[in-house]
Amino acid sequence: MKRINLLLIAVATLAGAVAFATPVPRHSNQEAAPIFVKTIPPGYRDWKLISVAREEGELNDIRAILGNDEAIKAYREAKLPFPEGTIIARLAWSHDASEENNKTFGRPQSFVAGAPKNGVQFMIKDSKKYASTGGWGYGHFDDGKPTDDSMLKACFPCHQAIKDRDFVFTRYSH
Amino acid sequence: MKRINLLLIAVATLAGAVAFATPVPRHSNQEAAPIFVKTIPPGYRDWKLISVAREEGELNDIRAILGNDEAIKAYREAKLPFPEGTIIARLAWSHDASEENNKTFGRPQSFVAGAPKNGVQFMIKDSKKYASTGGWGYGHFDDGKPTDDSMLKACFPCHQAIKDRDFVFTRYSH
């Protein structure tokens, strides 16, 4: 009996140590305050292309999703979850009819990227720092300046819809 | 007089040598046959993003234009003409409504890149090799295979419309 009791204490202590070392997301009445991305990751405009997209409606833009090397490697190997350090960037521009292209094609069909629009957004994977939002930090920058937290609080609730893809909507385009 | 005559002969000979060494585009009834790009430049999917675009009509795709390092440097420095070795790649995918995104946004507005569509195209700058088509070689590949010359013959006549931008339609998106 004494041995079993000692073992139980050891296990409980170990479990306590682990719980102490690894902050788990707190729930309900003592939820952890989400942390957001407030600094633009350097060099993101040089990153490789993940995919492109078009948003109609109020956003009305054409966009590109770029990824750092960690992101691209994970996408190409179809590995989930994304590794620590993964960063995904979403750039967007106005969706402008191109008179020049239309003249060449002989019909109105061509739209190109105009001025930057709807800011630049980032998702950064850091399971500890961003534990309260699925391990991802969300950031949005207009003209290089970080947006208010009120806007960023809306990111995670929507991304939860695709928890099974590690909260990332964009698929890689081959 | 003898010295002047000898000098004239020397200049004429030199001019002849230069004309022989540098093939100039021939015109009208003895036009040079255009040369096209028949091999896919390796690693193009890793290149940096120049811009994105959307074609409606029969093409009905969403596209990305990537550039090798020479292309990106020239674009960013706004230097024309593009240097020798510049390569510009045009990728395209089907323009697919995203039910998943629309559900998240709460309205039908979102289009993403689907399967690859309308082939992959390249422009390669080599002023000597492609002298008869403005210094650019044009290539189009469907499922990795080069297309017929008949299609490629249509590239240069259209690109001539923007000779003042060194025959390149796409502008760099910041």
Q: Specify the pLDDT at position B32.
A: 77
Sequence-separated (6 or more) residues with CB below 8 Å from residue A152 = A34, A36, A138, A139, A140
Q: Specify the pLDDT at position A20.
A: 44
- Token reading at A173: 């385009």
Please check whether residue B127 is in contact with residue B84, taking contact to mean a CB–CB distance below 8 angstroms: yes
Residue in B51, B53, B112 nearest the CB of A51: B112
| CA distances, A98 to each of A66, B57, B110, B157 (Å) | 24, 14, 21, 19
Q: Give dist(CA B9, CA A147) in Å, integer.
A: 74
Q: Give dist(CA A88, CA B22) in Å, integer.
A: 48
Q: Specify the pLDDT at position B166.
A: 98
Please check whether residue A25 is in contact with residue A132, taking contact to mean a CB–CB distance below 8 angstroms: yes
Does position B86 have pLDDT exceeding 90, yes or no?
A: yes
Sequence-separated (6 or more) residues with CB below 8 Å from residue B132 = B25, B26, B31, B32, B33, B34, B35
Residue in B66, B101, B158 nearest the CB of A169: B101
* Nearest residue of A to residue B161, measured between CA atoms: A104
Query: B128-169: per-residue pLDDT in tens?
Result: 999 999 999 999 999 999 999 999 999 999 999 999 999 999
Between A55-59, A102-106, B27-31, B154-158, the lowest mean confidence (pLDDT) is in B27-31
What torsion do the CA atoms of B163, B151, A112, A54 make, to the nearest 10 degrees?
-170
Q: What is the CA radius of gyration of chain B?
A: 22
- Which pLDDT band holds residue A33 (cuts at 50, 70, 90)? confident
Please check whether residue B138 is in contact with residue B122, taking contact to mean a CB–CB distance below 8 angstroms: yes
Chain-chain contact of B66 with A49 (C-beta, under 8 angstroms): yes
Backbone angles phi, psi at A90, to 5 degrees: -120, 115
**Distance, in angstroms, between A78 CA and closest chain B CA?**
17
Beta strands in A76-126 (DSSP E): 87-97, 110-116, 120-125
SS3 at position A136: strand
User: How far from the centroid of its chain's Cα atoms is residue A50's Cα?
Assistant: 13
Between A22-31, A52-61, A74-83, B65-74, the lowest mean confidence (pLDDT) is in A22-31
Q: Which helix or strand (DSSP H or E) is residue A140 part of?
A: strand A136-142
* Planar angle of CA B118, B122, B126, nearest 5 degrees: 160
Percent of chain B exceeding pLDDT 90 equals 80
Residue in A47, A113, A169 nearest the CB of B51: A113
Signed CA dihedral, B91, A94, A36, A146: sign only: positive
SS3 at position A39: coil
Q: Tell which residue, B131, B119, B71, has the closest CA to residue B92.
A: B119
Question: Bigger pLDDT: A28 or B58?
Answer: B58
The DSSP call for residue A67 is: E
* Nearest residue of B to residue A105, measured between CA atoms: B158
- Token reading at B82: 């593009």
Does position A26 have pLDDT exceeding 70, yes or no?
A: no
What does pLDDT average to over chain B? Answer: 87
Chain-chain contact of B54 with A54 (C-beta, under 8 angstroms): yes
Q: Concatenated DSSP letters for chain B?
A: -HHHHHHHHHHHHHHHHHHHHSPPPP-GGGPPPP----SPPTTGGGSEEEEEEEE-TTT-EEEEEEE-HHHHHHHHTT-SSPPTT-EEEEEEEEEEE-HHHHHHHTSS-EEEEEEE-S-EEEEEE-TTTTGGGTTEEEEEEETTEEPPHHHHTTHHHHHGGGGGGTT--PPPP-
Q: Give dist(CA B41, CA B47) in Å, integer.
A: 11
Residues in A closer than 8 angstroms to B100, CB to CB, are 161-162, 169
Q: Specify the pLDDT at position B122.
A: 98
Between A66-75, A105-114, B28-37, the lowest mean confidence (pLDDT) is in B28-37
Does position A93 have pLDDT exceeding 60, yes or no?
A: yes
- Which pLDDT band holds residue B8 (cuts at 50, 70, 90)? very low
